[in-house]
Amino acid sequence: MTRLRALVLDDEPPVRTYLAELLRATERVEPIAVVGTAAEATQALEAGAGIDVAFVDVRLVDRTGDRSGLVWAAALAARPEPPSVVLATALVDHAVAAFDVGAIDYLLKPFTRSRVAVCVDRLVARRAVRVPSVAAKLMARDGARLVFLAVSGILAFEAAERLVFVHHAEGRFVIDLSLTAVEAQFAGRVLRTHRNWVVVTDQVRELHRRSGELVVIAGSGLAIPVSRDRGPAVREALIAGAVGAVR
C-alpha cells in the first residue's frame, strides 16, 4: 500500500520530531517535510512532493512573527488540490476551530501512539474514498490524429515548448492536460520530479546521478531529471514505496 505523504508543521523541534516518528511507526504515513515555520511549510507544498496530509500546530509561532497555525491551515483551502489537514493542539477547546478550517481530525498534545494510529486510520479510510478512478485509456494527439493509449504503458509526462507530452511505451504524444491536472487525475500514482516532469512511480527502475545531475530511469531507459530542490523528497517517496529499503 502506498504511504500517505505528510507535512508536519510545529515550531517546537522535539514535538514535531516525535510526531514524525509516531507517524512513521504506523507504516502508513511517510513524513516528507518536517518544518517549523509557515514559510517552510508553504515551500514544501510548492516543491511538488505531493503532500497528502498536513499536521499543523494551532498555536504556531513563526520566526518572522506570530502566525496562527489556524490561519495557515485555512489558507490551504484556496490552493488547487489542497492536502487534508490535521490540527495539533494542547487545548481541547480548539476542536471546534479545527472543523471550522475543514480539518479531518485533531490531535491533543502530548501525542500518544494509540491516538495517532486512530487518526491515521481515519486518513487512510478517507483517502480510499477520495482517490479518483483512472480511465483505462488516455487520449493524446499525433498531428491531426487522436490516439488512445493504454494507461498501463505511460512512463512520464513532460511540459516543453508550451505543450504537455506523454512518454508512452508506444512513443511521445501531445496531450490536452496540464501537469497539475495530470497529478490530480493520477493521484497516488505519479511523482513530480521537476518543474517540467511528472513520472509514473510504478515505472521507475533506477535513481542515480548522471553527469552530476540526479535522474530517475523509467521503463526501458527514459531518463527523467530530478531538480535539486526536489531530490530529497523524490528519494524518500520512492523508498517509501519499496520493500527492503534501508535509510
Do 195 and 114 belong together in one domain?
A: no
Q: How far apart are CA 242 and CA 1, in angstroms?
A: 10
As a whole-number percent, the residues of the chain with pLDDT over 90 amount to 47
* CATH number where 35 lies: 3.40.50.2300
- 56 forms beta bridges with 9, 87
Q: Give the count of domains, the chain.
A: 2
Question: What's the pLDDT score for residue 66?
Answer: 47
Could you tell me the CATH number of the domain that includes residue 173?
Answer: 2.40.50.1020
CA–CA separation, 139 and 207 (whole Å): 29
Domain housing 210:
137-240
Is residue 215 a contact partner of residue 224, using CB atoms and an 8 Å limit?
yes
Confidence (pLDDT) at 97: 58
Decide if 16 is inside a domain.
yes
Nearest-5° angle of CA 199, CA 35, CA 127? 50
What average pLDDT does this structure show over 91-105?
Answer: 66
How far apart, in whole angstroms, are the C-alpha atoms of residue 153 and residue 137? Answer: 10
pTM over 0.75: no
